[in-house]
Amino acid sequence: MTDLFKAILFILSFQFLGFDGLAQLSADAGPDKVVCLLQDSVILGGFPAATGGNAPYKYTWEINPSPYIPFPTAPNIKVYASDILNDTTASNPLIISSPGSRGPIKLVLTVTDSMGSVSIDSVQIRWTGWVLHPANTTSWVHPGDTVSIHVNAFGGGYPPYVIDWGDSDSLLGPRYDSGVMVVGPNYSRQVIIPDTFFIIFPIRIFDSEGCWLDVGSEEQFMVLPSRISEPEESSSINWYLENEGRILTIIHPSKELQVISLHSVHGKKYSLPNRTGSHGKTHMDLSGIPPGMLVICFSLDGEPYSLKLFQK
């Protein structure tokens, strides 16, 4: 090996190695990240955040350009790295807040080793920026009613979305809707009201980054009990089923009978049956009603009654 060749090798090794033979200093700010607000503990930097050079290292995290202006119409609102990181001199700082907007923000990591060598790397951060606008409309219903529920208005996240309508037995239709780009005001699902007093149906939105938001249904339901108050024997009201349970006959005093509603004991409503008769006897055609326990609410000259019977 000639002296010239040895000199060239020495210069090249000096360029790519430190004085102690270590590799060239390299900073690692980690991969770009999306922060799911209120869900993630996001740590920046690679593991390790610096390699090569001569330890110990000095770390500095800064926003570029600094300061960050989240709202162009409000230039006095300024965000610095210390506003969103728990420690701007740590190798792996924790993101502790958002800049008030979804970003993106470029964070620059500068690593300086003990010999004064410097290496720089950067990472881009975005936030989901969820915003919820609950409607909280109240409806009065009965157990067994079939109603539509809607997703509360929200903003933020990164589409396409997945809508999780919950695992309730009351849900009619699939639990998940995938690939949703826009959740409009008519986006709904049908449910059956359970036998309870009050209910809001849970709905959760997932975005394409895996972040989620519990939005719930626009509607909250007050559930009325199915109260049964059969006519007393002293009221002179009698009833019986005939034609294999297809015809209900109510015998009552010479008063006007008006049917108010017909529903199952769970509250599921049916169309009012056809009625015939006169002179204190009313016939109701139940042939189109599914078998089971029924409640017929009616009035005689304005006085309400509820009659429970079994439809075969």
- Whole-structure pTM value: 0.61
Which pLDDT score is estimated for 182? 87
The candidate with the shortest Cα–Cα distance to 119, out of 66, 45, 65, 68, is 45
- The confidence band for 140, taking pLDDT boundaries of 50, 70 and 90, is confident
Is there a shared CATH topology between the 3-127 domain and the 131-223 domain? yes
Query: What mean pLDDT comes out for the span 136-160?
Result: 87
Which pLDDT score is estimated for 133? 87
CATH of region 233-311, choose from 2.40.37.10, 3.30.450.20, 3.10.20.310, 2.60.40.3080: 2.60.40.3080
Query: What mean pLDDT comes out for the span 228-235?
Result: 50
pLDDT at residue 17 greater than cutoff 50: no
CB 98 within 8 A of CB 127: yes
Q: What is the CATH number that goes with domain 3-127?
A: 2.60.40.10
The structural domains of the chain, with segments of one domain joined by +, span 3-127, 131-223, 233-311
CA gap 75, 311 in Å, rounded: 72
Collapsing DSSP to helix, strand or coil, 10 comes out as: helix
Write the pLDDT tens digit of every residue in 81-120.
999 999 999 999 999 988 888 889 999 999 999 999 999 9
The candidate with the shortest Cα–Cα distance to 128, out of 57, 49, 64, 211, is 211
The alpha carbon torsion through 137, 143, 144, 145 (nearest 10 deg) reads -30
Query: What mean pLDDT comes out for the span 244-271?
Result: 73
| pLDDT, the chain, mean | 82
CATH of region 131-223, choose from 2.60.40, 1.10.10, 1.20.950, 2.30.30: 2.60.40
What spatial distance separates the first Cα and last Cα of the chain, rounded to whole Å? 106
